[in-house]
Amino acid sequence: MRKLVLTLTVAVLTSGATVFAANDINTNNVDEIVVVVSNEDFKEITLEELPEAVSNAILKDFPTATVVKAYVNGSEQYKIELTTDGTESVVYADKDGNWLEESDVVVVE
């Protein structure tokens, strides 16, 4: 009889803790939206395929940089990997040579 009471007590305490933890999780209010930009939609292109406006923007704003690779997505936005003085960086531009923030890149499905 003593084992039965002990077993029931442990079971009740354990289930009570579990319910409390579950209720605690549900009371968290999240007011944040996370936007994830997938760069997997970019396809590699040759440097000759970059629009003239993008090439001119690179020459104007990154005169000492070397373009390593270039990519384009379905929205005609370009991802350009640059090397400047041994430092690698990635920049984004639209087809008219305007610079974009990574968060401004639009993925067309």
Classified as helix, coil or strand, 52 is helix
User: What tens-digit pLDDT sequence spans the chain (109 residues)?
Assistant: 555 444 444 454 444 544 444 454 555 555 565 544 444 589 999 999 999 999 999 999 999 999 999 999 999 999 999 999 999 999 999 999 999 998 888 866 5
CB 54 within 8 A of CB 95: yes
CATH class of the region 39-104: alpha beta
Give the domain ranges of the chain.
Answer: 39-104
Q: pTM score, two decimals?
A: 0.62
